[in-house]
Chain A
Amino acid sequence: MTTPTTSAPLLAVRDLSIDFITPDRPPAHAVSRVSFTLQPGEAMGLVGESGCGKTTLSLALLRLLPPQGRIVNGSVQFNGRELLALAEPEMADIRWRHMAMIFQGAMNALNPVVTVGSQIGEAIHRHYPFMSPPEVAARVAELLDMVGILGARADQYPHQYSGGMRQRAMIAMALACSPEIVIADEPTTALDVMIQAQILDLLDNLRRHLGLAVIFVTHDLGVVAELCDKVLVMYGGVTAEYADVDTIYNSPRHPYTQELLKAFPDLSKPQAALNSIPGYPPRPDALPTGCRFHPRCPLVFDRCRTDQPALLSVSPVWSSQQSSGYAGTANSKRSGEVRPTHLASCHLVENDK
């Protein structure tokens, strides 16, 4: 995990913008100019409230947007290869073979009338057409074993699985072709807390063993703190803040991140009341002028209402001062490293300079 940031990234997303086109209406800007990089074996958290463009962004990486969704700008490079320029058949070869996805809601992502085993085998068969049926079956059993399901249950239908098992089966399916990147779209939604912990442990173990790069799409900051190396906080389709996990938790600079962290229960201070951010994230077809967060921001001032803040690098001095008190905590695994990127889109960051 301590891959030096100087090596070529596995996935480099630059200025990715996605619009939703509806006839007779101006396009809705679901995602605007989002950039990030992912190193081999790295785990990134994609965080934000519902409707912030997280799922849209992850579907766009695989070019699986619904017909109304258009990638209007930007680039997605996988191992130096521009994915947005590929023809659809070439993209179909990359999907699942190199970049797989664990879909939100395991029940809906499994066909109720096809056995789980053959749904996993489908992916293997598509990408390794020369494998014989017994070889595919053996691989399916191996995959199920990897996620802790008895191989004999491959012949069962999704309704015979419990919720947690379905989620495990979805993970097995994502790993079917040994991809380098797995996008986990809210992998633990609708599961109870014990099962959530099991699934997250499983994902983390698999990631370490297989050297996977994982993008966790979630609104659970606990998941991010535990599993991720860095965090991309999205708000209203733009990057609010982008930094390694220590920085995000210890010295968040964007008011949205700060509010989000306050809304998350701190077990060490039992008396503190939980915070919530009043209001809702903006609809992509009715974005506010200026900063997209300004209607809900506690620190709002005049400029926020008119100017959209640029994504700026946060000065490291400030950051180190703030986080000095946390030196030596469990999460400071990057201490010996070059200064990690810390970007935030807020006028307050600019004012600091």
Chain B
Amino acid sequence: MTDQPLLLSGAAFWKSFRRNRIALAGLIMLALALFAAVFAPVIAPYDPAASVEITIDSIYARPSAAHLLGTDDAGKDVLSNFIYGSRVSLTVGIFASFISIVIGGTLGIVAGYLGGRTERVIMRFTDIMLVIPDLPLTVVIVAITKPRLLNIILVIGLIGWTTTARLVRAQTLSIKERKFVLRARSIGAGHFHILRRHIFPLVLPLLVVNSVLIISLAILNESTLSFLGLSDPTVVSWGQMLNYAFERGAMSSRAWWVLVTPGFGIVWLVLGFTLLGHGLEQVLNPRTEWHHLTDHPLMVSLPAFPETHP
């Protein structure tokens, strides 16, 4: 039975979390990125917004003591751009996924709990949103609404909620059949009370894990849009750096540092969030843990055919 509480207390959570190396690695990666984003003005050697005088030598200059990661096509310091770029990725990732989670969570929980016509309408709408290819839709909307940071956040957030809605609905369907919901109803509790008090706390772990994974999707979406030229021109972002590098001959100039640096940043953040998400899933949902059955030599004898083992 799944009768241990799904939400652990703070101390118990941290104890279990600390043992999980995957989650810890993700957390450290994200902490570094967050640190860079918050203290960008302190860490970055140059201000990306400041104008620089360009000479033929300062365009695509190789990494040197003055510019640790070289310069880009406008003679600007790549390292500084890289550090400032983390701000956009994190902002878009966190806020857009927040919008997605709120919309998807609400629709999923309402559809699953109420059932009937409400559910059919919501889920058909979700299906329609799900089959529309995300990228062309996002490109069209951002192009129409002007590529400002706020617009990008809204568009990514308003499109990315479908998987969350489906997951939450499925979980709600199973929770609402449990007997304590019937008991709450017989006590006289209203729908809102039952949803808030008895169903939401059991959906929450799923929502937490899902939101972390949705953040990395949102970051990738933002980078894609920027790479396609739909970035807010007033702020530096990694996708935008890639876009400029790609369009302005970084390849033919063999300026690998302009391409590798922002790419590395995107991979770093997405990997960090993915690792944290998987780790959190293992911590919050003990049933996904299987290593305690197989890792310990004293507990289980080795399987006869190791290659068939999961």
Complex CA–CA separation, A126 to B187 (angstroms): 7
Contact across chains for B182 and A64 when beta carbons are under 8 A apart: yes
Complex CA–CA separation, A173 to B7 (angstroms): 24
For chain B, residues 171 to 216, give those with C-beta under 8 angstroms from any C-beta of chain A: 178-180, 182-189, 197-198, 201-202
Contact across chains for B180 and A109 when beta carbons are under 8 A apart: yes
Closest-CB distance, B183 to chain A (whole angstroms): 5
Complex CA–CA separation, A127 to B7 (angstroms): 29
Indicate if A26 sits at the interface (CB-CB under 8 A).
no
Indicate if A184 sits at the interface (CB-CB under 8 A).
no
Indicate if A20 sits at the interface (CB-CB under 8 A).
no
Contact across chains for B202 and A123 when beta carbons are under 8 A apart: no
Closest-CB distance, B30 to chain A (whole angstroms): 27
Indicate if B64 sits at the interface (CB-CB under 8 A).
no
Chain B residues whose C-beta falls within 8 Å of the C-beta of A111 in the assembled complex: 180, 184, 197-198, 201-202
Closest-CB distance, B251 to chain A (whole angstroms): 55
Given contacts A114-B197, A122-B197, A159-B5, contact A95 B186 (CB under 8 A): yes
Complex CA–CA separation, A159 to B1 (angstroms): 11
Interface mask (A90-115 → B, CB under 8 Å = 1, otherwise 0): 00110111001101110111111110
Tally of chain A residues near chain B (CB < 8 A): 29
Q: State the majority secondary structure of interface residues on B.
A: helix
For chain B, residues 55 to 80, give those with C-beta under 8 angstroms from any C-beta of chain A: none
Contact across chains for A113 and B188 when beta carbons are under 8 A apart: no
Interface mask (A287-302 → B, CB under 8 Å = 1, otherwise 0): 0000000000000000
Indicate if A158 sits at the interface (CB-CB under 8 A).
yes
Chain B residues whose C-beta falls within 8 Å of the C-beta of A157 in the assembled complex: 5
Contact across chains for B188 and A92 when beta carbons are under 8 A apart: yes
Contact across chains for A113 and B186 when beta carbons are under 8 A apart: no
Provide a sorted-by-A list of 25 A–B residue pairs whose CB atoms are within 8 angstroms: A62-B186, A64-B182, A64-B185, A93-B188, A95-B186, A95-B187, A96-B188, A97-B188, A101-B186, A108-B178, A110-B180, A111-B180, A111-B201, A112-B4, A112-B6, A113-B6, A113-B201, A114-B197, A114-B198, A122-B187, A123-B187, A126-B189, A157-B5, A158-B3, A173-B183
Closest 6 CB pairs of A and B: A108-B179, A123-B187, A111-B180, A92-B188, A126-B188, A109-B179
Q: List 7 other contacts, CB 8 Å, given A103-B179, A113-B7, A123-B188.
A: A95-B186, A111-B201, A114-B197, A114-B201, A122-B197, A127-B188, A158-B3
